[in-house]
Amino acid sequence: MQKLIVSLCAIVSTIMTLAQTSVNKPEILYGAVQQSDLQKPPYNKWFDSIYSAYDPSSITISKIPKQQLKDIRIEIFFGTWCGDSRREVPRFLKIMDQLAIPASKISLIATGSDSLYKQSPQHEEAGKGIFRVPVFIIYRTGVEINRINEFPVSSLENDLAAILADQSYNPNYRSFELVKNWLQDGSLLDKNISLRGLALQLKYLVAGERELNSLGYVLLEQGKKAEALKIFQVNAILYPESANVLSSLGEGYYENADHHNAVVILEKALELNKEPQLVKEILNVLYKAKLAKG
Q: At which of 149, 172, 195 does a domain end?
A: 172
Peptide bond into 134 cis (omega under 30): yes
For residues 277 and 232, state if they share a domain: no
Number of domains in the chain: 3
The number of residues making up the chain comes to: 294
The single-letter code of the amino acid at 185 is D
Residue-wise burial string across 239-255, b where 16 or more C-beta atoms lie within 10 A, e elsewhere: beebbbbbbbbbbbbbb
For residues 42 and 137, state if they share a domain: yes
Q: Please write the tens of the pLDDT for every residue from 189-240.
A: 999 999 999 999 999 999 999 999 999 999 998 899 999 999 999 999 999 9
Q: Is residue 191 part of a domain?
A: yes
CB of 162 within 8 A of CB of 145?
Answer: no
**DSSP 8-state symbol, 149:** E
Of 38-42, 71-75, 178-182, 275-279, least confident by mean pLDDT is 275-279
The single-letter code of the amino acid at 31 is G
For residues 252 and 199, state if they share a domain: no
56, burial (CB in 10 Å: exposed 0-12, middle 13-18, buried 19+) = buried
For residues 44 and 148, state if they share a domain: yes
For residues 43 and 95, state if they share a domain: yes
Residue 28 confidence (pLDDT):
87
Q: Say yes or no to pLDDT of 5 above 50.
A: no
Residue 120 confidence (pLDDT):
72
For residues 271 and 140, state if they share a domain: no
For residues 270 and 202, state if they share a domain: no
- Predicted confidence band at 285 (pLDDT cuts at 50, 70, 90)? very high
Q: Please write the tens of the pLDDT for every residue from 91-135.
A: 999 999 999 999 999 999 998 765 555 667 777 777 788 889 999
Q: Say yes or no to pLDDT of 20 above 60.
A: no
For residues 250 and 142, state if they share a domain: no
- Predicted confidence band at 71 (pLDDT cuts at 50, 70, 90)? very high
- Predicted confidence band at 60 (pLDDT cuts at 50, 70, 90)? very high
Q: Say yes or no to pLDDT of 8 above 50.
A: no
CB of 238 within 8 A of CB of 209?
Answer: yes
12, burial (CB in 10 Å: exposed 0-12, middle 13-18, buried 19+) = exposed
Q: Cα–Cα distances in Å, from 176 out to 71, 108, 147, 248, 278?
A: 26, 21, 11, 18, 26
- Comparing 13 with 233, the larger pLDDT belongs to 233
Q: Please write the tens of the pLDDT for every residue from 123-169.
A: 777 778 888 999 999 999 999 999 999 999 999 999 999 999 999 99
CB of 220 within 8 A of CB of 256?
Answer: no
Query: What phi and psi values does residue 139 have, to the nearest 5 degrees?
Result: -115, 145
CA dist 258 and 233 (Å) reads: 13
Q: At which of 121, 148, 172 does a domain end?
A: 172
Query: What phi and psi values does residue 137 have, to the nearest 5 degrees?
Result: -100, 125
Q: Please write the tens of the pLDDT for every residue from 244-260.
A: 999 999 999 999 999 99
Residue 247 confidence (pLDDT):
97
Residue 125 confidence (pLDDT):
78
Residue-wise burial string across 122-149, b where 16 or more C-beta atoms lie within 10 A, e elsewhere: eebbeebbbbbbbbbbbbbeeeeebbbb
For residues 80 and 220, state if they share a domain: no
CATH code of the domain covering residue 153:
3.40.30.10
Average pLDDT, the chain: 89
For residues 29 and 167, state if they share a domain: yes
**DSSP 8-state symbol, 112:** P
Residue 2 confidence (pLDDT):
53
Q: At which of 150, 172, 194 does a domain end?
A: 172
Residue 7 confidence (pLDDT):
43
DSSP-derived 3-state class of residue 127: coil
Q: Cα–Cα distances in Å, from 75 out to 57, 125, 127, 163, 284?
A: 22, 10, 14, 14, 40
What is the domain extent for residue 181? 173-238
